[in-house]
Structure 1
């Protein structure tokens, strides 16, 4: 996993923290965890959701990825509250996908190959429990596959995988300015110096099909 070490080395050169935004209104909402007949849902936390939303949306078979918050105890949290590390939430993406095109096990492969699951409460320059590595499962089968994926990917890393595996009890959609952030803000310094290099490293390593 040499690309992970390269990624971490590059992003540590920047002290750009997404939580510097302020003054945003409470605009999240509890998302109903139901998909259409042709789609299923998965939920992953792997650091900044600006990065992970872009990563999953580029995979063939993924209809959309929604940025939001999961795994906490505060109802309808704001971005600032999550960044305070007092709500227990992790920045999470809710992935809507077509299982006829991409399997849940393949999404798990994308998850483990697109971040470093051995860094506790940290991903690149982003530090705190809100940036922890986590798989939020919706049913027993997803739980089984998540734990199986951890065993599968353990030999790929020099350190112990610390990814949390927990039930998805609630998902709160993040404020609208967070949605499709990479596409809407291509010249943002964090996007250019962290998100894009991370995605390009993932694209080189990942063997899954991309949309383009």
Structure 2
């Protein structure tokens, strides 16, 4: 039996369950047809209320999916979709989505460390996507959808590195190399307002129903102890 605190067993069920391609055209239409708008923090948390929480940054494919996953985790107060890991200033969704920048779609996670640790968030990150598919998550392909674990200090870097080492030691991915980038966090750009809480606002969107929701449900099945109580 693998160490329970590493929560490695759930990975077995995730291997080979790639997202379906239905709805990819729908996501492309958003890239082509939506105008950038200023970011507005989610209705449940005012900006000043978030300043007392810790932050963590991850990229693992379409941020519509990733935002919904982290928002389902207890101790997480707010998740913002955006762009990070590149050098261009003020990137837009059209630029990032078309691979015209060096940024990845990413999320900024505000969390309460007294409820959930950074180590647990790293477990959530690896447990909710396939880190062996280089520059790809399901139907989304390109470096803008690459897997990235950002660290803000040496302690966070060590936590990420130790977890990757544990995954490799346990041969969770059956010999497949982990391609996740582990890089120092530099800057995060909020995505346009229409991307925030996208899954909640557009539950009937074909990309959401065929890609995002199945990915979220797989995560919930494997991490029941990490989920918020109903209504929270």
Normalized against structure 2, the TM-score is what?
0.83
The partner residue of 1:167 within 141, 160, 184 is 184
Q: Is residue 2:161 matched to residue 1:147? A: yes
> How far apart in 1 are the matches of 2:154 and 2:28?
34
> How far apart in 2 are the matches of 1:116 and 1:151?
16
> Where does structure 1 lack aligned partners over 5 or more consecutive residues?
none
**1:91-114 CA distances to partner (integer Å, 9 max, x unpaired)?**
000000000000000000001110
Deviation at 1:211, TM superposition (A): 1.0
The partner residue of 1:24 within 34, 38, 48 is 34
SS in 1 for 2:66: helix
> How far apart in 1 are the matches of 2:74 and 2:13?
22
Spell out structure 1 runs of 4+ moving beyond 6 A: none
Count of aligned pairs between the two proteins: 206
Q: Are 1:46 and 1:52, in contact at CA under 8 Å, matched by a contact in 2?
A: yes
Deviation at 1:27, TM superposition (A): 4.0
Q: Is residue 2:104 matched to residue 1:90? A: yes
The partner residue of 2:51 within 24, 29, 36 is 36
Larger radius of gyration: 2
Normalized against structure 1, the TM-score is what?
0.90
The partner residue of 1:157 within 154, 159, 173 is 173
| 1:211 corresponds to | 228
Q: Are 2:37 and 2:194, in contact at CA under 8 Å, matched by a contact in 1?
A: no
Q: Are 2:12 and 2:172, in contact at CA under 8 Å, matched by a contact in 1?
A: no
SS in 1 for 2:59: strand
> Where does structure 2 lack aligned partners over 5 or more consecutive residues?
1-10, 40-46
| 2:137 corresponds to | 123
| 1:56 corresponds to | 70
